[in-house]
Amino acid sequence: MNDFLSTSLQILKPLLLHGFPNTFLLSVVPLFFSLILGIIGGVLGNSKISVLRVIAKIYVYLFRNIPFLIFVYVAYYGFPYLGVNIPPLTTAVVALAINHGSYMTEIMRGGLNTIRREQIEASASIGLNIFQQYSLVIIPQTIMEVAPSIVGQTILLVKDTSIISVIGISELTRIGRQITMLTNSPFLVFFYVAVFYYVLCFLFQMLSNWSEAKVKKYIG
């Protein structure tokens, strides 16, 4: 029993102190950027100009049909090839942001579709220009409406952070693998790793439910 406890502590310490915070940051930072990409993509996807719609569609289609790991490798080798030298961490954040930007695009595109024409007309009727209409009325309303979906989407982001362990980023999965080489209980290690991910995903799920209730309360 003592063995079990001491092994557990040996495993839990690095996971808790380094793995969990890193994975958390690696989820939240790309989330922010993927949202921005999603807003741009969503607006393009609903545009009256068909070229823009096609660009958005291709963006979404590519990431829906090509594995994320391939994209991580492409980014990892691609940036230096283009002469851009950035640390692996930045590559990871960029890769995550662009990949999940495609999912956000789909969410935003759907959400923008549901904004009633009347809200747009009302914003036009008080003299707001197109940019103001979007930034003050249309996009805030869309985000509030799709907030639960966006937060739910974060769960996928959290899981994808495990994949960037291949380019040497120190997060839960990579630290887990390193620990298995030190201790002799892979079951326990990956069980604890799984628990950390589970907790993180669970938190985001709760956040999603909370935001859904909040939006319903104020916006109806």
206 contributes a contact to other proteins by CB under 8 A: no
Nearer to other proteins, 89 or 120 (CB): 120
Does position 220 interact with other proteins (CB under 8 A)? The reply is: yes
The full DSSP string for 93-139 is HHHHHHHHHHHHHHHHHHHHHTS-HHHHHHHHHTT--HHHIIIIIIH
- Residue 219 found at the interface with other proteins (CB under 8 A): yes
Spatial separation of the C-alpha atoms in residues 107 and 29, rounded to whole Å: 19
CB 148, CB 209: distance < 8 Å:
yes
**What DSSP assignment string belongs to 16-77?**
IIIIHHHHHHHHHHHHHHHHHHHHHHHHHHT-SSHHHHHHHHHHHHHHHHS-HHHHHHHHHH
The one-letter amino acid code at 206 reads M
193 neighbors 15 (Cβ within 8 angstroms): yes
Q: Is 50 in the site for other proteins (CB under 8 A)?
A: no
Residues 150-169 that bind other proteins (CB under 8 A): 155, 158-163, 165-166
Q: Which helix (H) or strand (E) holds 169?
A: none
- Asked if 180 interacts with other proteins (CB under 8 A), we say yes
Q: Give least dist CB 19 to other proteins, A.
A: 11
Give the footprint of other proteins on residues 98-127 (CB under 8 A).
118-119, 121-127
> What is the longest distance spanned by two Cα atoms in the chain?
73
Pick one of 52, 144, 183, 207: the residue that binds other proteins (CB under 8 A).
144
- Return the residues of window 66-95 that contact other proteins according to CB under 8 A: 66-71, 73-74, 77-78, 81
Site size for other proteins (CB under 8 A): 60
Q: Is 128 in the site for other proteins (CB under 8 A)?
A: yes
- Among 141, 144, 85, 95, CA closest to 118: 141
Please report, as ranges, the residues that interact with other proteins according to CB under 8 A.
Answer: 62, 64-71, 73-74, 77-78, 81, 118-119, 121-129, 132, 136-137, 140-141, 144, 155, 158-163, 165-166, 172-173, 176-177, 180, 185-187, 190-191, 193-194, 197-198, 201-202, 205, 218-220
